[in-house]
Each structure stands twice: as structure tokens, then as C-alpha cells.
Structure 1
Amino acid sequence: MLSGDLDISQAEGLKPMVYLVQPENFDQLGQSFVGKLLDSAEVDGRGHFEFEALKNVEGQVLLEVVVQKKGERYANRLENENPDSDNYMPLIWTRGETLVINAAIDQFQSSVTIENPSTVNASFLELRDLKKNAFLKYKNTLELLQGDEQLLEREKALHEYQAILMQFADATPELFPALMAIKWVSPEGNYERIPEFLVNQGVKWSERYPNDRWVKELAALASKEKLPILVGDQMSNLEFPMVDGSKTSLNAITDGKKLLVLDVWASWCAPCRLENRNVLLPLWQKYHDKGFQVIAYALESNRPAWENAIQKDGANRWLHASHLEGDQNPIMDSLRIHTIPANFILDGNGKVLAKNLHGEDLVQFVANYLGD
């Protein structure tokens, strides 16, 4: 049996109903409009509810307990905007188990408690708490970071939030809480900036549960061929059409160099332009004689705008290339990325040492690698 009691004192605008949704595969976990509706239960005047349909469920099942706003047509609409008010909670129920939950209906996910939780459900609650606390810090940071020029700072704050969930997934021995953490890292399914995490999760769980269907789905998503070049990979010998009309290869550029930054940018990208002036230029001036080089690949279709940005930023000291095909170009396809600013830090053999380091993080990496 699965039942519970809700604090309905702040229930205005919310349906007096609780829904039981079953995600049937990894893609459906934590996603709206796709999970199977198993049951609904009316919340009585005291806030009590009780599900009946679990009598027909065999074995162990992953469920999402959901509440909805009045007027919502779909019982399986799940919110992933703010852990304080998100409207669902994942848990595991096993046939024959008596599971009792309590929550405030208007702060459902953040307030759920489970009486005498199993190990796996205790792990779900731990994950929920980590997410809630990390998101609060992230939200407070975002309020201080406005405007296009602070895009990289916002991205760094997002990564710090995600890192809490990633650390949980790396450490937990519980499969389903780990899968939920992977989903909460990026509810929209965008792992472009953190493909190494996804690959490592695929490897970890495939080794433990090679025949599990959820794990097989994760492993397919975590296929290296579908993700950006990883740290530790050998970069292919890319061919660059240079700003002066010549062509050169990555191998030719890395020859004799100790450290190369492959920087993907655009003249219309405000944080890219700041990075040129405030980070790459000082680094080039300080470390070029020690074997530091930059090859900047631009997502451009307008040659005059591109060349003007190079000169205005003082970036004409390092190498520049572009197919002048905008963001649909062979380099982005080879790197398997869609987002800029982006960079790949390579050693003299073309091995990826690090990725997407910006600002002081990039400065510190170069200083440590080449010696300050």
C-alpha cells in the first residue's frame, strides 16, 4: 500500500488529488507527458490520500508521486524549474510494502518525507536534499549575474550546481537514485558541457548491471560517438581554412608547441570578445615564447566583421580560421559541439588535457602547465 498525508493549508490553486506516474524507460524519467498514469487518489479534508492500483503491480517499481495545479489537463506533467516547488517525487515501491509519505502540497518535492524509508528511498531523499540546497545557492548567484557579458559566470555557477548531483551519482551504490541524479543534472538532456560524466556513468552501471534495460538505455545515450570530444581523447588532425586564405592542419600547428588552445568563438559573441581581450591576449603575451599557441576558429559568415573583431581585440597575434559558414561547419561537426564559447586545451601531441576553461581557470591551468 502507498498512502500519505499532505499539509493542505496552502492548497489554493492546487488540485486536491495525488497522481501515481510510472516512467517506463530512462528517457521518461522526470519528464512531462510521457510516464504511464497508474492511479489517482483524492485528498480528503484532513489531507489523507491512498492509492489502490498498486494491488496489481508485481515486484519492484520506480514511481513518481505527483500533484498538479487546478486546470492542468495532464496528470503526468512534471515540473523541473525549482526544487522548492517542483511537483513530483521519485521513489521505489515493492509489492507487499507499506509506504507512507508526508508533504506540504504547495512545496511538494522539497517537503516530502517517507516513514521508515528503505535504503533506496533514503537515497532518493538524500539526493533531493542535495539538489534543493545546491539549487538555492545557484539561484542566489544567478540573481547577481545579468547580461550577455556574464554568460560564462552563469555557466560556471550552473556547473557548480550540477557538480553536486554528479558527485552523488558517482558515489551512490543505488542505481535508480543515480539515474534520477543524471536526469536532474540536465532535465532537458543536454550533456554537451559534461560528456565525461555521462560516459563514466554509463561505464559504472554497465559493469554492475550489464543486462538491466535501464542501464542499456543509459549506455546508448552515453556512447562516445554521440558526445563531444572528451578530455583524454586524441584530437583528429583537423584542417583549418586560415584568415589569410591558406590552409593548415592541427598537426602542423601543434608541431613544436607545448600547449595549444583551440578556441571556438564568434565576433558576435560578447563573452568571447571579453575572453580575447582579458584572457587570451595576456596569456599569449606571457607564454608564447614558452610554447603557448592559440588557434581560434570563428563561427562567421561575414568576413569584414570577423577581421574587424580580430583587430579590435588585439587577437591578430595568434592564428585564426573559419569556413565562413556560420555555426554549420566541419569543425563544429568534428568536435560534436553546438555551444560557444568553447575551447579544447591540447598538448604538443594533440591530446585533450582540459576543456572549456575560461577566465582565471584557464590562466591558472596555463601557468601550472608551463610554469609561471
Structure 2
Amino acid sequence: MRIHISKKITALLLMVLHFTACTTNPDITGKIEGIEKENIKVYLIQPETFQEIAASYLGKIIDSALVKSDGSFEFNNLPSNKEPVLLEIAVQPTGKDGNYLANGNPKEANYMPIVYQFGEPIYITAKINEFQQSFKIDQPSEVNSALLELRAIKSTAYQTYLAEKQWEIEEGDALIAKEHAVLQYQKALMEFVDSTPQLLPALVALRWVSPENDYERVPEFLVAQCNTWNKKQPNHPWVKQLCKKSEPENLPVLIGDTFPNIQFPMITKDTLLLNDVMGKKLTIVDLWASWCAPCRVENRKVLVPLYNEYRDQGLQIVAYALESNEAAWKAAAKRDGADRWLQSSDLQGDDAPFLKKIRVRTIPANFILDSNGVVIAKNIHRAELMDLVKSNFEK
């Protein structure tokens, strides 16, 4: 009997030792180069919602590790999910919270998303001062290779369109140029999303398009991605959250939508329904303000010449001004020559009912409508707007 019990105890001890060895053997390890200070920590962060991906202070910290003097570190508290899990590895400067993520210049980004599959070891290397840009994975999986490719696309696009650019945003053309550059940067990420078969890298790219969670200027892209992934992985909770965000009530009027037949409070004190004043060929619904420098430039250099040339051929312009000062509005419209076309405003500034109805918060903005009131283009300016109007009247 004693021998029998002893064998059971021995077997139990061996099982405990085996279990302990398996659970303490880290699957995510690495080395950070350029460590010059003590007490540098790396954090393992798990986003729990679509909105938490690549978002500062929102992801859940599930582990942390002190970087050793030789730059090495290891994580031990890893998810046990059987499904692949998106995680973020972040190195933190002194005084920053563990889940602080820098999303500006990629050279300064202090974190990198990875996909962890339970039981599959990941070994990474990176430089502390260029963490995201220098981040490497030894023999990366297919999904992590996609994330590394995305990282490279992001870095190249930033260097091409945004790095070291300085815009005097008080000047009209400069603000338009800045917005164009940001859109070109975003398009590089959006092209990746359109081409990748991998859901998690696609969702990272979606969030990198706007870490601020603002898709007002690219809502059609958000809707298209909901449609794509809802067909492929409809039960994934993050796909459901993406689709919730892309519902019509959460986005501006889209290209292809019929613009709502809104009643405009006119500068002449009467009111007009949009459908009653539509152009026979095209209608430009233009959002502007007397204090908006690029709007004023657009009035003088683009809308005035377009209106003069095409108003008798079926062009209509309906302007809505974000104003609270009626005198300033009227003076600016007259000075720019914008009083030639229909002018309206609720005189409630940014709290205007019109903005709420079409779900727009940013100006300059515009919607170009065909003769049926369908939006054929939006938020195009300067030469692009002039070319579109010209091409429609020369068909």
C-alpha cells in the first residue's frame, strides 16, 4: 500500500512539474537594442474592441516585463485562446502609462501590433528609439508578415506625404493642401485593406487610417469594409462593431445617396426646399463660413468662375454658412461674390441643425449632386472641382 501511494505521489509531482514548465516557458520573447537607461519596461496590450486597436490608454495591459541590461525581455502571461489574438507590444518612456501608444510619426511610434497564436513562439527585435519602424519578427507567420508589410506601407506613405511638411493652416490653399496630403497617406493604408485577405491586419490598417476614430472624410471606405468582412466573417465581434460604426446614422451623406430634401433658411429671410431650387444639370451644396480661409479662396477662385460660366447651362450652387454673426456672413458673401448664388444659414454656428441632418462636422465641405439629387462626388476642391463640373457640362 505504501509503495502504491508513493507511486501516485511521484506521478502527481511529475505532472505538476510538467505543467509548471509548460506555463512558465514564455512564447513571446525578444531583444531591444539601444538600451541606455535602467527600468525600461515593455508592455503586452490586448485591445478588447475594434475602437481600442491602436488607441492610446484604451487597450488592456495583460503583462509587462522589465528589459534586462542586455536588452532581452520575455512575457509569461499570455492569452490561452485557441483563436489568433491581436496584441500590441509597447515600450514606454519614463513617466508614460503602460498602454500609451504614440500614433504620430512612425519613427517615433512606441508600439507594434502582432497576432499571437497559442503555443507558437514569437521572437522579436527592435530599436528602442525607432521601435515600430525597426520591429522584426524571427520567421513571422503569414498574418504577422502582413502586419510587417502594413507597417512598411504606413512608414513609406508618411515619409512621402506628411514627413517634415509644414502648412500655414490659416491660409486657404495650405489647409486644402494639408487635407489632400492626409488623404493620400490614408489611401495607401486603404489600398492595403482592399488587398489583404487577413482580417486582423485589415482592422489594424482601418484604425491607422484614423487613430482618432474619425472617418468623416472617408465614410464610403468604412461602409465598403463592413460589406466585405461581413460576408467573410460575420460573427467576429470586431466586424460587428465595424458595421455598427458604418451605419448611415453615424456617417455623413455618402456618394450614391440621394441628398435629403432639406429646408434652407435663406439670407433673404425666406425658406426654400432643396428640391425646389436644384440645378437642371448639377447642384453644388457648399458648406463654408466667413472665418474659413480656404472657403473664402474657394468662393473667389473656383465657385465664382464656375457659376458665371455654367449657371445658364444648368449649374446651381446652394451655400450653407456656419455663422452666428449675420453681418459678417453677408459682408463676406458680398466681398467674395458669393451673394450671386443661393445663401443660407441658421445663424447657430457649429450647432447648426443642417450639419446634424447631414452629419458633417468639418469644413470646407461640399456635395455635388446630379439632376436627381444623387451625390456623385463630395469634398473636392480647386482644380478637381472645376474639372468635374467642366466634364459634366461637356458630355
TM range (shorter): over 0.9
* 3-state SS, counterpart of residue 78 of structure 2: helix
Distance in 2 (CA, whole Å) between partners of 1:165 and 1:19 is 26
Contact 1:266 1:299 in 2 (8 A): yes
Amino acid at match of 1:194: V
Q: Determine which of 312, 317, 327 is the counterpart of 1:304.
A: 327
Match of 2:7 in 1: none
Deviation at 1:17, TM superposition (A): 2.1
Distance in 2 (CA, whole Å) between partners of 1:57 and 1:159 is 37
Distance in 2 (CA, whole Å) between partners of 1:157 and 1:141 is 12
Match of 2:288 in 1: 265
Deviation at 1:291, TM superposition (A): 1.1
Per-residue CA deviation, residues 273-308 of structure 1 (Å, 9 max, x unaligned), is 110001100111122122111111111122111111
1:69-148 matches, within 5 Å, as 69-72=93-96, 74-140=97-163, 142-143=165-166, 146-148=169-171
Contact 2:283 2:318 in 1 (8 A): yes
Q: Which runs of 5+ in 2 are unaligned?
A: 1-26
Per-residue CA deviation, residues 164-219 of structure 1 (Å, 9 max, x unaligned), is 11111111111011111111111010111111011111111111111111111111
Q: Determine which of 40, 44, 48 is the counterpart of 1:16.
A: 40
Deviation at 1:257, TM superposition (A): 1.5
Give the fraction of aligned pairs with identical amino acids, expressed as a percent.
46
Match of 1:62 in 2: 86
Q: Does 1:276 align with 2:299?
A: yes
Distance in 2 (CA, whole Å) between partners of 1:277 and 1:217 is 43
Match of 1:5 in 2: 31
* 3-state SS, counterpart of residue 108 of structure 2: coil
Q: Which runs of 5+ in 1 are unaligned?
A: none
What is the TM-score normalised by the length of structure 1?
Answer: 0.95
Match of 2:231 in 1: 207
Deviation at 1:67, TM superposition (A): 0.2
Match of 2:389 in 1: 366
Deviation at 1:59, TM superposition (A): 4.1
Deviation at 1:313, TM superposition (A): 0.5
Deviation at 1:112, TM superposition (A): 0.4
Contact 1:15 1:68 in 2 (8 A): no
Distance in 2 (CA, whole Å) between partners of 1:57 and 1:87 is 26
Alpha carbons of 1:191 and 1:55: their partners in 2 closer, same or farther (altered >3 Å)? closer
Match of 2:349 in 1: 326
Per-residue CA deviation, residues 116-169 of structure 1 (Å, 9 max, x unaligned), is 111110010011011111111222473255534221111111111111111111
Contact 2:167 2:175 in 1 (8 A): no
Deviation at 1:55, TM superposition (A): 7.4
Amino acid at match of 1:30: A
Alpha carbons of 1:274 and 1:217: their partners in 2 closer, same or farther (altered >3 Å)? same
Distance in 2 (CA, whole Å) between partners of 1:327 and 1:51 is 48
* 3-state SS, counterpart of residue 327 of structure 1: helix
Per-residue CA deviation, residues 221-254 of structure 1 (Å, 9 max, x unaligned), is 1112210000000011111111112221111111
* 3-state SS, counterpart of residue 39 of structure 1: strand
* 3-state SS, counterpart of residue 104 of structure 2: coil
Alpha carbons of 1:136 and 1:266: their partners in 2 closer, same or farther (altered >3 Å)? same
RMSD: 1.6
Q: Does 1:292 align with 2:318?
A: no
Distance in 1 (CA, whole Å) between partners of 2:164 and 2:43 is 34
Amino acid at match of 2:110: N
Distance in 2 (CA, whole Å) between partners of 1:338 and 1:95 is 43
1:110-189 matches, within 5 Å, as 110-140=133-163, 142-143=165-166, 146-149=169-172, 150-189=174-213
What is the TM-score normalised by the length of structure 2?
Answer: 0.90
Amino acid at match of 2:238: W
1:220-235 matches, within 5 Å, as 220-235=244-259
Contact 2:167 2:178 in 1 (8 A): no
Distance in 2 (CA, whole Å) between partners of 1:25 and 1:247 is 45
Alpha carbons of 1:287 and 1:55: their partners in 2 closer, same or farther (altered >3 Å)? closer
When Rg is computed on C-alpha atoms for both structures, the one with the higher figure is 2
Deviation at 1:82, TM superposition (A): 1.3
